[in-house]
Amino acid sequence: MKRRFFAGMAMFLAWALFPLHGFSAPQNQDAAQVSRQVKQAEYHVREFEKEVAQQRGGEKAVYRSKKAALDRVQKLKLDHPDDPEVEKLYQRVRTALMKSKGDFAEVSPEWTLYKRHEDDLRKVISGEGQKKWQDIIAQAGAKRISRAFPAPDSAEIPLEKIKDSYVVLEDVQYPRHQFYGVTGEYVYAGKPSSGFYFVAAGSRRWLGPYEAVKRYRRNVESSLMEVQSWTVLGKITNIALEIPEAGEEKKGSPQFGWVVEPVALHVPGHVTAWYDADGEASGRYAGEEMVASIKDGWYTVKEIPEDVTPERLMEIFMTAIKEKNYKLYHDCIDPERRKTEAGEDLLRYHWDLHQERFRKEYIHAAFGKAKISVIKGFDSGNEQENFFLDDKQKETLSRIGGTKIEEAVVESRAYDENGRQLGSPHPHTLIRRGSGRWYVEDYAIRF
């Protein structure tokens, strides 16, 4: 009797517990699966966060781990919206995603003031250029050919009849149509069906005005950049038989063309420049004498203090570029980098690049704290070494070490017109020799 009772109780318990065990096993399996998925997703999220951190506030075109992290966390969030571990991953991805788009800053009106100043100056000088162009054209008077094309036919009109006449040539393509011929260096205008003019480009009468336009671009309007199409006023001086093609291997047939000596170059809406035989640079542009005084009223910084810090010097360096203060830009740079003619040419070359970047890419930069180190001589600021040295030893080391040279590294973060940081921070190296002030050494580095 007792045996049957215990057997019945065993069967009852087995029946009662069977459904419970049958339900909890899949539930445990599901939890374990979710846990594995969370760990897998967490790995990709962690890798994505590392990539973002390496950019240091900049935006990267492609993040290797981004898609894998987003795919996995999105699926987990949709399937298990109330899971606390999934929610943690979801919040981490949200944070990393925002950081991956780059840091942002509020754009101050002062950041773009230099662009408004440039536009105002361009309008003034453009107006002066237009008036000067009209004056030069008027001086040509009746000796100007009323219509450049079709060009006078050299087979019918002798040189004596057209020599010393003035002609206005529009859309002269330089340097695209520049060529070296048998009789000289020219820029051709025209075509076989309408006749040719060969504008002499090998003398100061071309190079003087051309360099003046380059000065205009450097000091007034960086947005002009390289001019491709010119309007030229010139005087006909000769006739030449040339093959108007660039390069050494010329395939076309020889063409007669009227040789034109440049008088003035004009870029409509921008600048007029002309040959100045008595000028130091052989050329001037209209309003050039006004530029310095106009810009002087803009300058927020005009000189560099002797006790300038590396961080402040980088701010002054950027300001000089934005405000088109070439002298201040020049003074910021290490004298060792500009003591030769080639060095000066490089300064001007990189000035143009900086101007282009502040026009096209970014409008401002912020600078971090300088990291200063002694790269030559005795480092009197090394507290650990000083702990072991007495005053006499320090004096000896200072004497035998020679002139102390210090190096500072300052990082810049550039921002576009929307306040977004562009790329990762860029390091800039500055140098100080002895008791002198700091100078920018690697001036070519972008901000």
Model confidence over 168-184: pLDDT tens digits?
999 999 999 999 999 99
pLDDT confidence of residue 423? 84
Q: How far from 105 is each of 53, 180, 312, 418, CA to CA, in Å? A: 18, 53, 20, 8
Query: pLDDT tens-digit profile of 240-252?
Result: 999 999 877 888 8
Query: pLDDT tens-digit profile of 217-242?
Result: 989 998 787 788 999 999 999 999 99
pLDDT confidence of residue 27? 61
Query: pLDDT tens-digit profile of 299-348?
Result: 999 999 999 999 999 999 999 999 999 999 999 999 999 999 999 999 99
DSSP per position, 99-165: HHT--B-PPPGGGGHHHHHHHHHHHHHHHHHHHHHHHHHHHHGGGB-S--SSPP-TTTS-HHHHTT-
Average pLDDT over residues 114-129: 94
What value does the CA radius of gyration of the chain take, rounded to a whole number of Å?
A: 36
- Verdict on whether the full-model pTM lies above 0.75: no
Helices (H) and strands (E) in the chain, counts: 12, 13
Domain 300-440 has CATH 3.40.462.20: no
Q: What percent of the chain has pLDDT over 70?
A: 93
Query: pLDDT tens-digit profile of 55-99?
Result: 776 677 688 888 888 998 898 889 898 898 888 888 998 888 887
pLDDT confidence of residue 5? 53
pLDDT confidence of residue 268? 92
The residue among 115, 45, 31, 39 whose CA lies nearest residue 79 is: 31
pLDDT confidence of residue 99? 78
Average pLDDT over residues 262-266: 97
Cis peptide before 175 (omega within 30 of 0): yes
Q: Hey, where are the domains in the chain?
A: 28-100, 113-294, 300-440
pLDDT confidence of residue 21? 46
